[in-house]
């Protein structure tokens, strides 16, 4: 069945460095992907999304890259700040699926 | 900022009690969801709804039940709480639009059953 997974459960970076969080998916039919950020004690918060007809999408300090050939999704955070500390989830779906499939999550820790 | 609300935020209750977790959204979204999540772990879908009078079980078996009498309201009920129900419960809503189906989450209810 379809699944979404993250390569690393934890990631530590120095403040000011760039962070890259990776995600692999297995369903070739997936055509819409979302990254969520979840801070401690809060619900997941939408960060950025991308459709399968795109390879790259940029937001404020964040960039999502989609490689459909290898079914890989990544979230790049530029100039990481302490407020970026959170668990990051990728999620996938396709038209008609009626629900998102969430990955395991990567905990991002920022070192001062 | 999404307009989706959950109450209570925290609940500590004894075994055998009946509880209802409330979820409301003011965005007029047709689709609503309940997820169960242990701290820092993945989300497990336990219930969802396509609209009024529609409810479906999710991927993770749950002893809870839900109802959808109004578009904006999607309460979750546990008839007899047990310690194994201790977890965080997240509510979300979405509306399929233009090929996207972004879910917006509430702040969650952290349930502890003693």
The rounded radius of gyration (Å) of the Cα atoms in chain B is: 13
State the pLDDT confidence band at A1, using cuts at 50, 70 and 90: very low
- Look up tokens 């904006």; give the residue: B72
- Please say whether the beta carbons of B27 and B95 come within 8 A: yes
Contact B99 A51 (CB under 8 A): yes
Give the Å distances, CA to CA, from B54 to A36, B24, B32, B70: 27, 16, 10, 10
- CB contact A89 to B (< 8 Å): yes
**What confidence score (pLDDT) does residue B38 get?**
86
Please say whether the beta carbons of A23 and A71 come within 8 A.
no
Q: How far, CA to CA in Å, does B96 sit from each of A32, A83, A98, B32, B50?
A: 12, 30, 9, 11, 10
Burial-class residue B75 by CB neighbours within 10 Å (0-12, 13-18, 19+).
middle
For the stretch A22-81, pLDDT in tens is: 999 888 889 999 999 999 889 999 999 999 999 999 999 999 999 999 999 999 999 999
C-alpha–C-alpha distance, residues A27 and A40, integer Å: 30
- C-alpha distance from A79 to closest chain B C-alpha (Å): 24
pLDDT of A4 > 60? The answer is: no
* pLDDT, position A2: 42
Q: Residue A79's pLDDT is what?
A: 96
**Please, are residues A45 and A112 in contact by the beta-carbon 8 Å criterion?**
no
Q: Which residues of A19-50 are buried (b: 16+ CB within 10 A; e: fewer)?
A: bebbbbbebeebbbbbbbbbeeeebbeebbbb
User: In this complex, is the C-beta atom of B5 within 8 Å of any C-beta atom belonging to chain A?
Assistant: no
Which residues in chain A have Cβ-Cβ distances shorter than 8 Å to B106? 43
Closest chain A residue to B110, measured at CA: A41
The answer to whether A34 faces chain B, any CB pair under 8 Å, is yes
Q: Is the pLDDT of residue A96 over 80?
A: no
Who's near A59: CB < 8 A, 6+ residues apart? Answer: A47, A48
């Amino acid at each position: 069945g379809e699944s979404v997974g993250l390569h690393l459960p934890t990631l530590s970076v120095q403040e000011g460095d760039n962070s890259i969080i990776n995600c692999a998916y297995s369903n070739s039919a997936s055509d819409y992907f979302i990254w969520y950020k979840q801070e401690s004690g809060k619900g997941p918060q939408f960060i950025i999304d991308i459709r399968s007809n795109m390879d790259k999408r940029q937001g404020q300090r964040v960039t999502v890259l989609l490689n459909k050939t290898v079914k890989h999704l990544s979230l790049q955070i530029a100039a990481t700040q302490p407020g970026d500390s959170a668990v990051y989830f990728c999620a996938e779906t396709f038209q008609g699926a009626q629900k998102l499939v969430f990955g395991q999550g990567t905990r991002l820790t920022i070192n001062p | 900022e999404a307009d989706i609300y959950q109450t209570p935020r925290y609940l500590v209750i004894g075994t055998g009690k009946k509880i209802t977790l409330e979820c409301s959204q003011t965005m007029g979204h047709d689709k609503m969801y309940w997820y169960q999540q242990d701290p820092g772990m993945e989300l497990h879908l336990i219930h969802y709804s396509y609209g009024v009078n529609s409810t479906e079980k999710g991927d993770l078996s749950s002893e809870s039940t839900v109802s959808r009498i109004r578009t904006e309201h999607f309460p979750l009920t546990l008839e007899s709480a047990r310690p194994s129900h201790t977890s965080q419960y997240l509510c979300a809503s979405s509306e399929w639009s233009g090929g996207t189906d972004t879910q917006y989450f509430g702040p969650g209810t952290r349930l502890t059953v003693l």
